[in-house]
Amino acid sequence: MVVAALCFALMSMFVKLGADAFASTELLFWRTAIGALALGAAMAWKRQSPWTPHWRGHVKRSFVGYASMVALFYALTRLPLSTAVTLNYTSSLFFALLCVIKLKDRLTPRTGLALLLGFVGIVILLRPTFSSEQWLAGLIGLMSGVSAGFAVFQVRELGRMGEPSWKVVFWFFAISSVFGGIWLALGPGFSAVTADNVLPLLGVGVCGMLGQLAMTRAYKDGRKYLVASFGYLTVLFSALLGVVLWGDPLSAWSLAAMVLIVGSGLMAALR
């Protein structure tokens, strides 16, 4: 999961780098299309079939995953990198809540406190770092975390059904690419890809694919709460990248909020 966290932080960096040349919906399309083409080519090379008896599960996972990415990419183009990524990684809190509700995991006092601290951290993060025009982007960023929690839960369920990691990721990319392609064809269309702007697209696609493969494998085979806690490393990696590349300010309030959110994830992992 550490590898996945680093890859997703780099992917978020490339999203911000490409925001001047491409709309967030375009960046999202290329993020999934590049991954689908690369995995499709690898499957053809190894003569592996994409057929699955669990197509309903893949459609559900793809729908909520795509909704999460739409919200995340929108937030990344309008908020500081560390803020957008932190809001997205509240997914671990919502994932833990889903496990309690759907899998009947026992909610211990430690887990309850972790969820409460995570919520407090979100409130603190929203209050000091958003200007008045950023509230909508902040709420959309938070919704990316909610839907990502559902997506991760579905990834876990597909793994329990016996689906290999590469197949889960391939179908997610393929179905999401169809969603994105239809959206762009009916709406704003595609921007021209040139030698000057192709690097962010490749970075988004490659880092997103590697991160997705690593994350899916981790949730399939690892302890779910421990894996979720390591996902918070993306927040720290993204904060460092934001400071180095864009000079994003990290106020005392911002740091306190990140400590609370990351700490709540670690507390949930140690339950």
Tokens of 81: 């990198």
Residue 173's pLDDT band (cuts 50, 70, 90): very high
pLDDT score, position 77? 82
For the chain, give percent helix, strand, coil, nearest 5: 80, 0, 20
| Mean of all residue pLDDT scores within the chain | 83
Beta strands in 91-193 (DSSP E): none
pLDDT score, position 261? 75
What is the Cα–Cα distance from 19 to 64, expressed in whole angstroms? 23
pLDDT score, position 19? 84
What is the Cα–Cα distance from 53 to 40, expressed in whole angstroms? 18
3-state secondary structure of 137: helix
| Residue 266 predicted with pLDDT over 70 | yes
What is the Cα–Cα distance from 114 to 111, expressed in whole angstroms? 5
What is the Cα–Cα distance from 102 to 83, expressed in whole angstroms? 29
Residue 268's pLDDT band (cuts 50, 70, 90): low
AA letter at 141? G
Quick check: 146 and 94 in contact, CB under 8 A?
A: yes
Tens digits of residue pLDDT in 210-224: 998 998 888 777 666
pLDDT score, position 230? 67
What is the Cα–Cα distance from 175 to 66, expressed in whole angstroms? 9
pLDDT score, position 177? 94
Tokens of 207: 């880092």
What is the Cα–Cα distance from 118 to 49, expressed in whole angstroms? 41
pLDDT score, position 226? 65
Q: Is the dihedral of CA 232, 271, 215, 141 positive or negative?
A: negative
The Cβ of residue 181 has, within 10 Å, a number of other Cβ atoms equal to 14
pLDDT score, position 175? 92
